[in-house]
Structure 1
Amino acid sequence: MPENEAQKKKRCLIVVNPCAGRKKGLRALPKLHRFFDENGFSVTDHVAASRGDGQVCAEGALDFDMILCVGGDGTLNEVITGVLRSGRNIPVGYIPAGSTNDFARSLGIPYKPMKAAKQILSEPPMKLDVGYYGDRYFTYVASFGIFTRTSYSAPQKLKNVIGHLAYILHGIREVVHVRPVDAEVETEDGKVSRERFIFGSFSNSTSFGGVLRLNPADVDFSDGKFEVMLIRPPKSPRQLSRCLRALRKGKPYDSDEISFFRGSRVVMRFPSGDAPFSLDGEYAAGKSEIEIGVLHQPVTMLGCKPKRMNLSAPTADQTAGQTSDQTADRTPAPDSAD
């Protein structure tokens, strides 16, 4: 290839998780490399060697014009974290190759690698909000309580064999052994409530935990707010069953067991002890007090085609009968404590 022709090509870095989704991404890598090479990119492949390697690679990819993440939601978290910590808004494309691919489903990204690759080149870029949990980032959900351990404790070998069903089986086990958590919730308007919950989520997605759904009409990926869901202990097995059915189908959440609102910052306190969280399906150590918030559109995503949004969820201010113009403009510290 002539030197001047090579210089005209944009540089594309492909970061692959070789263990995700029965090695689906690793098998697709040669075709993906060839596809982007044929479409005017100078392609560099990087196969992640261990947990956290995707973040390190993306953080050092300062000379690239685009980064493609090939793996599950956890791999995408690593890549986006690396991009944010690099200080460069390098566009990110997502080729889903995990067991559940919650965020890909929400963003309208095809599960077939080559279809996702073609959509990366055909769809316009999309600005995406990113959440923070203390000094760590999450791309689509931070959660505690039931279904939380499911996302990070289901064995990789089991996920590779039976895929999404592994999350369902572990989720059922958690429901049977559910234990409420005492928590204090402080919203951005200063309102504080103290209750017991069996589940809490702070999300920017229509699907999370491998088992739960939100109505697409209630989710905007770029509005500077996330959807907050807090579930109280049901008083009977019938109430629990009704609650779980609603969550599985993304039906309205107006009930005695569920609080649902939209906000940009929440402080959680756990007086009786730390509650472990899941960040995009990965374990995060619990803290007695933690700030959870949203960074407004710090990331550029490629290949997204989400369903049209028609928002109906109340904000924390509307829930309290008040109004506020506060938004999150906080950036987590450079180093993670966990």
Structure 2
Amino acid sequence: MKKAVLIVNPSSGNEEAEKYESQAQKKLATFFDEVEVLRTEAEGDATKFARQAAKDKVDSVFAMGGDGTVNEAISGLAEQEYRPKFGFFPLGTVNDLARSLKISMEPQEAISSFNVDRKSSLDIGKINDDYFMNIVSVGSIPEAISNVDVEEKTKFGKLAYFISGVKEVFNDQTYHFSLEIDGETTEIESSAVVIVLTRTIGGFQHIVPEAEANDGNLYLLYLKDQSITDRLKSVPDIVKGVDQPTENIGYTPFTAGRLTVKEDAELHPSVDGDEGPELPLSFKVLPQHLEVYYGSEQ
């Protein structure tokens, strides 16, 4: 018997999950003999549900929610001996992975257009003992963005992140980092260090145009900013998209690395939009680690 588990976060997408849950269950029932719906009530529930589904060797696990819910579900599947196929219906604010996989931002369309035949491999990032599916960011600008509260996200969507980031541009704070990338160590001063898996960051597509969801690489970007003027100079490069180092932005594809900060600073890295582990950070890519359902034709 072919079984799917649908993990639903009732609070995602301005609490729209209940509206779309039955639609998703009915759609999945056209492809699977059994569809079990599990609703999260607390942080970590999606991870627990996905891990149990892997142990039960169900065929597929689906998540309905924002980036945090998707991250939790993927974390539950990561490095299990048996990993079910994974799919999701986005309800949150940014949904970077959904954009990269060409899944509709409209929940009803994402559900109605789902097809079990559209599958591809997906890289996962590992950070210390945790996992990420899109982005890890460290520094004053990323910290300001990660501190955007739920009310602002609901009211302004991805514009809330942009507003918060712009405010922080005029803060002079930078940090001295030590980066070990694929065995080579570099010392940098920056207000923002970002490691990504996909081309979309904060809902803005094609910032890292050469990144693919299953190319086996992580991508490092950092601002070469020692002043507000330097920071402003980097904006055109970011808007254009970064595929090589520039005068204003550092850029390196890599597979494994380590990041430490030299100051006695209380930095809180953002991992897929939520607060992550404390520095120092170790990174590696788990290439083609999951089989994932995507949206329109790739």
Instruction: Determine the C-alpha separation between the residues in 1 that align with 2:220 and 2:296.
Output: 23
Instruction: Determine the C-alpha separation between the residues in 2 that align with 1:80 and 1:44.
Output: 18
Note if 1:126 corresponds to 2:120: yes
CA contact (8 A) 2:171 2:228 kept: no
User: What is the percentage of aligned positions where both structures have the same residue?
Assistant: 22
1:171 to 165, 172, 183: 165
Q: Which residue of 1 aligns with 2:83?
A: 89
Matched pairs, number: 295
Instruction: Determine the C-alpha separation between the residues in 2 that align with 1:150 and 1:91.
Output: 35
Distance 1:113 1:236, change over 3 A: closer
2:143 to 129, 133, 149: 149
- Greater Rg over alpha carbons, structure: 1
Note if 1:68 corresponds to 2:82: no
1:170-210 alpha-carbon deviations (Å, 9 max, x no partner): 2222222251111111121x322112111111111111234
Note if 1:248 corresponds to 2:239: yes
1:139 to 133, 136, 140: 133
Q: Which residue of 1 aligns with 2:40?
A: 48
Instruction: Determine the C-alpha separation between the residues in 2 that align with 1:241 and 1:40.
Output: 51
Distance 1:69 1:108, change over 3 A: same
- TM-score w.r.t. the length of structure 1 is 0.80
User: 1:245 is aligned with what amino acid?
Assistant: P
Q: How does 1:1-338 map to 2 (within 5 A)?
A: 8=1, 10-61=2-53, 62-63=55-56, 64-84=58-78, 86-121=80-115, 123-188=117-182, 190-210=183-203, 213-216=206-209, 218-233=210-225, 235=227, 237=229, 239-250=230-241, 254-274=245-265, 275-287=267-279, 289-305=280-296
Q: Where does structure 1 lack aligned partners over 5 or more consecutive residues? A: 1-7, 308-338
Distance 1:196 1:205, change over 3 A: same
How far did 1:87 drift?
Answer: 2.8
SS at match of 1:111: coil
Moved more, 150-159 or 68-77: 150-159
How far did 1:211 drift?
Answer: 5.4
User: 1:14 is aligned with what amino acid?
Assistant: L
User: 1:34 is aligned with what amino acid?
Assistant: K
User: 2:196 is aligned with what amino acid?
Assistant: S
CA contact (8 A) 1:184 1:268 kept: yes
Distance 1:147 1:104, change over 3 A: farther
- TM-score w.r.t. the length of structure 2 is 0.90
SS at match of 1:240: helix
